[in-house]
Structure 1
Amino acid sequence: MEEILAEALAVAAPQRAAGRVADYIPALARVDPDKLGIAFAGADGTVHGAGDCDEPFSIQSISKVFMLALALEKVGVKLWDKVGREPSGDPFNSIVQLEHERGKPRNPLINAGAVVVTDALIGDGPAEAAIDALLALLRGQAGSGNIAVDEEVAASESQTGARNRSLGWFMRSFGNLSNPVEEVLGIYFRQCAVAMSCRQLARAGLFLAFDGRDPVTGRAVCPWHRARRINSVMMLCGHYDNSGEFAFRVGLPGKSGVGGGILAIAPGHGAIAAWSPALNAAGTSAAGAAALEALVERTGWSVFV
């Protein structure tokens, strides 16, 4: 597996020049675009890696997957009354559909949908408890106690978060947020600023490859039907207006983040995390997606078999 991962990185390396870092967030603009890492966590819990797989990076929108799992655990199917499950076909921070659809986001993996998910997880409790729940899940599943919020990145996102605030206030005007907008956005910025390495991220996502159950500990993180539905949302919506291209080339459920990370799930096999900070026009890591494409070509993994 480590040879396959190294080969995948070698194939993908030239794609680093095809993208650009998320320079609209000042703290992310300083990240070295030449970084490239990948890791695979398998059924026995062993995590194989190559390249810069041990360097922490800002997981950004990949956090939405784990927040979705937590919110569904807390409020159940009622969550779908406030957020849909359809691909958006628009950029991750678009406000256009919100007006047409009366403040209900198209899916939980675009920014507006993720803000609704964060609001649901906060519920009527203290906002900070939502971040505590996220960190507890990530640390527990990754087996690593040093996963934390990068507060510098969170502050940088808040300072440049006018569009996300607009989304929040627009949804609030339709009654689709229960908590104060600034409170919800404060948690949203912090969840996106969690820093993890590829090894940690692959291990944390492993339960989604095995019907919601950690294959090593046997712990049911979520019911099998919920894990499959989270994977289906990732497959359809995990890369915004680039989701179809990713499904076509990679054929696995995945979620990208503008920090350059991608979490991909190979059901029955394991979880893969790739990282390269330079992004394509849709906000997905150019080299990371290429590495995953090279990996599935070598392993034959795909949901379309």
Structure 2
Amino acid sequence: MAPLTRRQCLAGLAVTSLGLRGDPAHAARPPRIACLEWTSAEMVISLGIGPVAVADTKGYRDWVAGPALPAFCLDLGSRGEPNLELLLELNPDLITGAYGYGLDEAPFKRIAPLHTVPFYDGSEAPYRQAENETRKLGAQLGREAEAQRLVQETAATIAHVNAQFSGRTEQPLAVISMFDDRHVRVYGKGSLFQDVLDRLSLTNAWTAPTKSWGFSMVGIEQLVAIGEARLISLDPIPPHVKIRIDQSSLWANLPCVKAGNVRTIPPIWPFGGLAAAARFATLLARA
């Protein structure tokens, strides 16, 4: 079957035009939501609503992966410069975004109400903030029950994984993302991953200072500081970087690499919400 054109998608979305809670005629129908970035998109999908459009859908599928975007979801262009013309055509009931992207809110507010998720604003630990923001978004969308269920299911998933680790001697671990063959992003204090590690009673081998978003950007040689700790590397790793890493003597001589303690796990959005937290715990248990 040939893929749908943008015009066909827009026409189909128009036929199923939906309203937010407060419109009795559409109370049972989910709203039409456009997401300017991936954190709020993950949250919306986790509450059982498929967004009509998300910025950089390919990036979402590569870097976030789960929960999956619906097939009908359109691409809004880059997260730094979403397509205003397409947003106008879509006429969404709600636009969602997240703190930290530096976008001027005014043009979006002229199209539809704007809901901003203030993750990593320094007011709360990321996991606790994810719980609170999930409840807030659920209340706005008339999905309070779904939001509370997500909060409870995420806590239950983490508790289940914690029980799997209980009684086992787990060596410290560090979590990284690779972007080139000389530098890595290492997640530590202030990150969602650190909050999950704490709930799993696991020790983060990376104790160096982090940025406000909960990571350090360091040269690969600085990973010598974690010794033979387990190293958890997040996909995706760009193919050309993987080739260079495999050929790098600097990488090969790291104690954790020489000890065979490197594991690669599927993508998890480090700046995500509860779905990312549960996904991280689950994938760690399999690593």
Structures share a fold, TM > 0.5?
A: no
Structure with the largest fraction of helix: 1
TM range (shorter): under 0.3
**Structure number with higher relative contact order (C-alpha < 8 Å, ≥ 6 residues apart):** 1
TM-score normalised by structure 1 residue count: 0.27
